[in-house]
């Protein structure tokens, strides 16, 4: 069985935590154990991409969208969409820098990740994550 849920929070810093909680709650409602450390790995791409949407989105009054799709006993697919056209990219990060490590973390824990660009309507950053049981 495939389950999908999404939310459209406002572009506000508090929305990042809201998005993480909602994805975690949806996975728990769908039978994933709430105390499984893998849930934190699954919501990490939500945090990273939602933070970028809030900080760098082109229109402050607009929402962004977070979606989670989970297969029964299988992987989860995370998507965060906004109207920004700038695609996130891995870049070298110096030890002294306070930001820039999020995509490196996603790269290390996701089975795959990438960006779908839609010229007129922005982009979707996606990550395929192993199942939480």
Nearest to 52 by CA among 87, 22, 77: 87
pTM to 2 decimal places? 0.86
pLDDT band at 60 (very low <50, low <70, confident <90, very high): low
Structural domain of 11:
2-129
Checking if the pLDDT of 133 tops 60, the result is: no
pLDDT digits (tens, 9 = 90+) for 96-116: 988 888 888 899 999 999 998
Nearest to 28 by CA among 16, 109, 124, 20: 20
The residue to which tokens 């007129």 are assigned: 120
Backbone angles phi, psi at 49, to 5 degrees: -75, -35
DSSP β-ladder status, 112-118 and 122-129:
antiparallel
Q: Number of folded domains in the chain?
A: 1
Compute CA distances 43 → 37, 59, 73, 133, whole Å. Answer: 10, 25, 17, 14
Count Cβ atoms within 10 A of the Cβ of residue 89 and give its class: 0-12 exposed, 13-18 middle, 19 or more buried: exposed
For residue 120, what is the domain's CATH number? 3.30.565.10
Per the prediction, the chain carries an average pLDDT of 85
CA–CA gap between residue 123 and residue 108 (Å, rounded): 22
Checking if the pLDDT of 119 tops 80, the result is: no
pLDDT on residue 35: 67
Q: Bigger pLDDT: 58 or 49?
A: 49
């Amino acid at each position: 069985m495939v389950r999908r849920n999404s939310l459209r929070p406002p572009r506000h810093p508090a929305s990042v935590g809201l998005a993480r909680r909602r994805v975690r709650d949806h996975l728990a409602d769908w039978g994933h154990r709430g105390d499984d450390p893998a849930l934190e790995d699954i919501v990490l791409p939500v945090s990273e991409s939602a933070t970028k949407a809030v900080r760098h989105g082109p229109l402050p009054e607009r929402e962004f969208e977070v979606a989670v799709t989970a297969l029964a006993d299988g992987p989860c697919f995370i998507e965060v969409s906004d109207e920004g056209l700038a695609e996130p990219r891995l870049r070298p990060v110096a030890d002294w820098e306070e930001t820039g490590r999020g995509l490196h973390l996603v790269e290390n824990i996701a089975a795959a990740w990438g960006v779908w660009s839609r010229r007129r309507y922005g982009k979707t950053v996606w990550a395929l994550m192993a199942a939480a049981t």
